Structure 1
């Protein structure tokens, strides 16, 4: 009888250990869900897709639900209405929201791209291109008030060209229709993102002449941002998210374009692998991808100068008002 009681005691002990172990494993396997809104689907955002495909978010215990919201206004609406937790969009949008008197400001906390991602494309080849070649040409620009157009105008002015006086400038074409409008219209030059620029070169439709990103310098072109309340209430989650992005940034920097292309191809199934490869290499060569998530004050001030030059800066917002560098700095210093 005594041995039976001893046996039952051992069995109960084993069962308790198994139950506690199962509970512990269940708890450790629980993931924090993040609703992430990206402003568009772009090879320009390659490190984000690398973070997803290489499992860096999963390693941090995060489950990221990615939605493409197609436009800065829609992306910010998603964020401020709590339809998303984090948004990937241009930093200028946080300034626009702040100028409207937001009680819960949108804070930039992790930078993804550090330069403009557009390229100057011409219908004709140029052996010795000069920015002066653009004068009096038919130029198809980007949407007024958006970062591509503001950077484009900034670069032109830096090279002695007044875009509204020296060019026949068109800004009335929707973003999605710009490539086809350039192909079919009488435009001589256009400002394009990848992979369209590389596609046009391959098809003989256009020739890439210059990078607006290289010409303009570093700006917080695309940044992960969240409402201040979210960052305060979910500081650990924000750190985990930023850590995953930093891992991806380092991976992209240390791997060739083709390797990056192979990882992110599921996000661009209608684009040939060699075009993705060429696009990634072009962005790497122009240093468009940020090497770490820190958005420094110099970049922020450069952004404001570009907006001010374009007449689109609603107010002078200080770096510390809308930028949190502490999260990113802690991650890279680990």
Structure 2
């Protein structure tokens, strides 16, 4: 009986001993399965997150949260394309087609460069002559298209003995600002006729007045000549009988150069090219519309309180400018201005004009050279040269 009990115990121990490893292995397998499921769940979650992030980004790095900010302002007649792009929905059309959000930001145009530099806006329209010296000093923008020519004029009093630009030597000239585009153009033209405009040989005196005060300053004899932008220029000429001695719309040197241009920050042009191209296309279309429909453009500005004035007079002024937009002609404008400014010492010494131009003229594959507006309300694309 004792041996039987012993055999039973030994057998039981043997069976338990054989089963113990099996139990341990089964537990380990279960634990491994649980860990594997957790790892697979984590991997799948990561993959899904990656897909969501990638689906929210385009080839130019845009995301659902990205908003392209456009600076805009009322009060200026020559900003007609910027206004028309808003009024007729060209911004809406182009940005929606690109799948990009945009925002119109009301600004003071005098502060546009500062707002761009501080990244409060991404793009705007401005006077190229005013912007080029700032670009030379480090303002990191790229011009995307020329919008229109003309709009700046220079006058002497109706009884002045000054008959041409060479007669301005030794005279006092009223200007809207020392960095205004009118000063840049005037220096370039005076240098051509032999009047010194460099820091080492300045043969004119420039005096700054508010734009609206300039006509009175000339009429009172405080200055010998003034530089004005339309519509103040046209109004002053009519009211005071001033004599025009230079008109950038008509002058052989300037008539094919763009005074107003669209631009974006250089970083936006590089990192968000689809957004910059959509912005450019909208303004190319709007400018082409103004070229073909100056009266309707003037009416839109007045009705939407974007510019004051008389419809007939505003239409006449818009018709006097060339609003046929161009990318390549803006490039030539930039290069010509920089070449002159380098020669008179208003650009950094030794500046390579070709490299400087290439760095600050942006071209996009999906933005054409220009558009023309057709009678049926459609646009024809002008191919790149």
Deviations 1:167-208 (A, max 9, x none): 663323345543443344433421111011211133235243
Please give the alpha-carbon distance, in whole angstroms, between the structure 1 residues aligned to 2:330 and 2:182: 20
Ranked by relative contact order (alpha carbons within 8 Å, sequence separation 6 or more), the top structure is 1
Deviations 1:154-178 (A, max 9, x none): 1123234446889663323345543
Please give the alpha-carbon distance, in whole angstroms, between the structure 2 residues aligned to 1:198 and 1:144: 22
1:37-52 equivalences under 5 Å are 37-38=71-72, 41-52=75-86
Residues 1:277 and 1:296: Cα distance change in structure 2 (over 3 Å): closer
Deviations 1:90-116 (A, max 9, x none): 44636634644x7xx422223223x45
Residues 1:174 and 1:313: Cα distance change in structure 2 (over 3 Å): farther
Residues 1:152 and 1:99: Cα distance change in structure 2 (over 3 Å): closer
Structure 1 residue ranges without an equivalent (≥5): 1-29
1:76 aligned to which of 105, 108, 113: 113
| Structure 1 length-normalised TM | 0.73
Contact 2:133 2:346 in 1 (8 A): no
1:1-334 equivalences under 5 Å are 33-38=67-72, 41-60=75-94, 61=96, 63-71=102-110, 74-91=111-128, 93=131, 96-97=134-135, 99-100=137-138, 105-113=140-148, 115=149, 117-124=151-158, 130-134=164-168, 137-162=171-196, 169-175=205-211, 177-215=213-251, 216-217=253-254, 218-255=256-293, 257-265=294-302, 266-282=304-320, 284=321, 287=322, 289-314=323-348, 315-317=351-353, 318=355, 319-327=357-365, 328-329=367-368, 332-333=382-383
Give the structure with higher Rg (CA).
2
Residues 1:202 and 1:116: Cα distance change in structure 2 (over 3 Å): closer
Residues 1:267 and 1:183: Cα distance change in structure 2 (over 3 Å): farther
**Shift, 1:304, TM fit:** 0.4
Residues 1:238 and 1:269: Cα distance change in structure 2 (over 3 Å): closer
Residues 1:224 and 1:149: Cα distance change in structure 2 (over 3 Å): same
* Partner-residue secondary structure (3-state), 1:110: strand
Please give the alpha-carbon distance, in whole angstroms, between the structure 1 residues aligned to 2:207 and 2:125: 24
Contact 1:123 1:206 in 2 (8 A): yes
* Partner-residue secondary structure (3-state), 1:75: helix
RMSD value, Cα: 3.6
4+ aligned runs moved over 6 Å, structure 1: 164-167
Residues 1:80 and 1:168: Cα distance change in structure 2 (over 3 Å): closer
* Partner-residue secondary structure (3-state), 1:326: coil
Please give the alpha-carbon distance, in whole angstroms, between the structure 1 residues aligned to 2:135 and 2:246: 32
| Structure 2 length-normalised TM | 0.64
